[in-house]
Amino acid sequence: MILTYAIMAVVGCLWLCRMIAEERVIFRRTYLDLPIALFVISQLISTVTSIHPYTSFFGYYTRFHGGLLSILTYVLLYYAVTSNVPRTQVPRLLLSTCLAAIGVSLYAIPEHFGRSPSCLLITGGQEFDVACWVQDVKNRVFGPFGQPNWLAAYAITIIPVTVALSIGSWNQLKAWQKSLYIVCSSGLFLTLIFTRSRSGLLGLAVAGGLFIAGLMGLWLKKRFNLSAVIAPLGITAVLFLTSMGIFGTISTPSLSQLLTPSSSAPAESAESLENPEIPAEAAPVVNRLDEGGTQSSEIRQIVWSGAVEVAKRYPLFGSGVETFAYSYYQDRPAVHNLVSEWDFLYNKAHNEFLNYLATTGIVGLSTYCLLLGWFLYKGIRLVFCEQHSAQTQLLVLGLITGVIALTVSNALGFSTVMVTILLFLYFALLELLRKPETKVVDTKTANKTQELQGTQYFGLSLTGIVALYSLWSILTMWTSDHAYAHGKLLLRSGQTTMGLDQLEMAIVQSPSEALYYDELGSTYAALAVEYANQNEATIAGQLAQAAILNSDKALELNPRHLNFHKTRARIFITLAQLRPEWLQNAAEALQTALALAPTDAKVMYNLALVQSALGDETTGFETLKKSIELKPNYESARAELAKYYETVGQPALAAEQYRYILEYITPSNQLIQQKLQQLEASQSGSLNQ
């Protein structure tokens, strides 16, 4: 996203310089003017009324995409293309997109065979394997993207366009160009197979069916000769089917599996992460929303129901652009505690439409749907109701089905930077293709010399200064983020002094980012205890105060982030080793967190522990029972409850909790087995006496 900001700063500068040099406003009215204006206004209002406007403007930290600033950037890029790129340059835009997609495929496909270019780069060319990844990239590739579903969304958005280009003769393409598009679409399809993305395959299946239907419609209208497209279309189909036959898909077996059903172990192994019956030792808990499968759909339904509840709370303009990570937990369904990812942070609704509904309300969702719908309406009219060349109509058919594929994928996930750039590029391409190229002639400009005037030099200089300032601000965003990430790595590796320096540098560069203060406060608290243990009371006291001040600052900047309140509680629990009365502050922080997330069983559990530590065992006991009501399979809470029952002399109730853990949660827990045996032996001894 930061790179996109930088590109837009350069493009915007050049655009303004062109207007200054030509002494005219260069802005092309388009078919999307009204939908875009309504969409931007809705996002602006949602940002102003947001529960946290800073997040709504810049986007949720580490993602950034989706915030108002990113939306304005995409819109400006759209108008930069429509206002400055002539129709004759469309083939070059498409060719560059195709070449980039081939590069992505060449980066991603080797991962399936245990060869990751990323590892080659990280190790300086020493190791060409997949050992540098924690993720199972052989099972689900993601190449230069951050996640398999994101790569799949990118692939399915481009495939229909490259197929359309390969079967048409756009600007009299040469044979090598058509071959290039066939290679591109086939490479992307193979990449899609290796991502094992259900949403991607579903999106492409829907788009493919509509593309074929549209193709048949154009043929029935005699817009092209079927014999002219049968060869490239047939080659593409054969390559697709061959890829499916050799490697299979997540929904269909490979040819070898069909011929030798008994040797299906590799396929079962590939899906082991999604099999709920595999024991925990064989399949560690992963994010099912990223992995897909039946359990994924169940989790999505829970998150979606929470998103609907958020929309009910903020019906018109939502909780604020990109604030789902804050508003969801206010209405998070209690059943979310029962899934394996119950303590994950969800900053998206994993459905683009429900995400817009929750964060920007009915108005935001309506304008977003209007934007997509108006593009599809104008595109369909161009293909079937207007007089254009067959090549143009085929290309627009590819653009339409590419957007439909992306929309289907986004309905089961969420958009990312690259696919949103493609989306707005497709919007712009349709505008360029709708009308014949016209050359604007300004008589005033045509009759004057090329020499610039003093006011123009001043305007160009001012534009350059603004552009440089913008690039410097964008670079500062990147360097502060880099310092923050580097600081965390240094702290984890034990290089405390250097790590603190990096975190403090991040704060100096971006003093409004609450996350930096949150991390720094947590680090200071841990250091305070270390110095106290070394009898450095003065330094320990100073660090403790610094920890509290940084936590105060984090919450001043962002009081809606649940994690910051959890961090504050941890800070005071840690510092209570120096001053026990700080446990009360921890309890207050957890109470505030519980107000933001009333169904969070972990917050409830920790509050119970703190209340008991403060001597209020009765309240702690009641809070502990509430955490178990929210999450019946909460092993730690049940073990703590059993301990409480033992303390108050109710061994039968304690044994009941231990048995529940062994029967329904972790049957192999040897520690719990020992405690139960000791408890039963003690009870048996008492009865014998």
pLDDT confidence of 609, banded at 50, 70, 90? very high
Q: What is the reported pLDDT for 261?
A: 58
Closest CA to 547 of 577, 570, 580: 570
Answer yes or no: is pLDDT of 211 > 90: yes
Answer yes or no: is pLDDT of 306 > 50: yes
Closest CA to 194 of 158, 142, 157: 142
> CB within 8 A of 36, min separation 6: which ones?
75, 78, 371
Q: Is the dihedral of CA 87, 89, 95, 100 positive or negative?
A: negative
Across 185-189, 232-236, 356-360, 565-569, least confident range: 232-236
Task: State the CB neighbour count (10 A cutoff) for residue 351.
Answer: 19
Higher pLDDT, 44 or 133: 44
Answer yes or no: is pLDDT of 58 > 90: yes
Q: How far is CA 295 from CA 141, 298, 352, 553, 679, in A?
A: 21, 5, 20, 39, 37
Q: What is the DSSP string of 145-189?
A: SSSHHHHHHHHHHHHHHHHHHHHS-TTS--HHHHHHHHHHHHHHH
Answer yes or no: is pLDDT of 438 > 70: no
- pTM here is 0.89
- Tokens coding 12: 């915007």
Task: State the CB neighbour count (10 A cutoff) for residue 280.
Answer: 10
Q: What is the reported pLDDT for 2?
A: 95
Answer yes or no: is pLDDT of 278 > 60: no
Q: Which residue has the tokens 């917050």?
A: 603
Average pLDDT estimate for 287-315: 77
- What is the Cα–Cα distance from 599 to 336, expressed in whole angstroms? 9
Q: What angle do CA 35, 36, 39 make, to 5 degrees?
A: 85
322-372 per-position pLDDT tens digit: 999 999 999 999 999 999 888 888 999 999 999 999 999 999 999 999 999
Amino acid 128 reads: F
| DSSP code, position 339 | S
Q: What is the DSSP string of 193-247?
A: HHHT-HHHHHHHHHHHHHHHHHHHHHHHTT-S-HHHHHHHHHHHHHHHHHHHHHH
Could you please state the CATH topology (level 3) that the domain comprising 468-636 is classified under.
Answer: 1.25.40
Answer yes or no: is pLDDT of 104 > 90: yes
- What is the Cα–Cα distance from 29 to 589, expressed in whole angstroms? 53
Answer yes or no: is pLDDT of 544 > 80: yes
Closest CA to 47 of 360, 462, 432: 360
653-664 per-position pLDDT tens digit: 999 999 999 999
Answer yes or no: is pLDDT of 255 > 50: yes
- What is the Cα–Cα distance from 440 to 25, expressed in whole angstroms? 12
Per the prediction, the chain carries an average pLDDT of 89
- What is the Cα–Cα distance from 226 to 679, expressed in whole angstroms? 81
- What is the Cα–Cα distance from 243 to 270, expressed in whole angstroms? 18
Higher pLDDT, 145 or 259: 145
Q: What is the reported pLDDT for 675?
A: 86
Q: What is the reported pLDDT for 275?
A: 34
Average pLDDT estimate for 165-172: 72
| DSSP code, position 273 | G
Closest CA to 199 of 423, 426, 407, 424: 407
Q: What is the reported pLDDT for 224?
A: 75
Integer-rounded Cα Rg, in Å, for the chain is 30
> CB within 8 A of 89, min separation 6: which ones?
none
Answer yes or no: is pLDDT of 171 > 70: no
Across 56-60, 240-244, 277-281, 680-684, least confident range: 277-281
pLDDT confidence of 287, banded at 50, 70, 90? very low
pLDDT confidence of 274, banded at 50, 70, 90? very low
pLDDT confidence of 279, banded at 50, 70, 90? very low
- Tokens coding 401: 């089905």
- What is the Cα–Cα distance from 412 to 159, expressed in whole angstroms? 19
Amino acid 3 reads: L
What 3 state SS string does 275-294 have?
Answer: CCCCCCCCCCCCCHHHHCCH
Average pLDDT estimate for 35-42: 98
Answer yes or no: is pLDDT of 85 > 80: yes
Annotated domain spans of the chain: 2-30+37-247+295-434, 468-636
Higher pLDDT, 290 or 652: 652
Total residue length of the chain: 689
Across 96-105, 169-178, 221-230, least confident range: 169-178
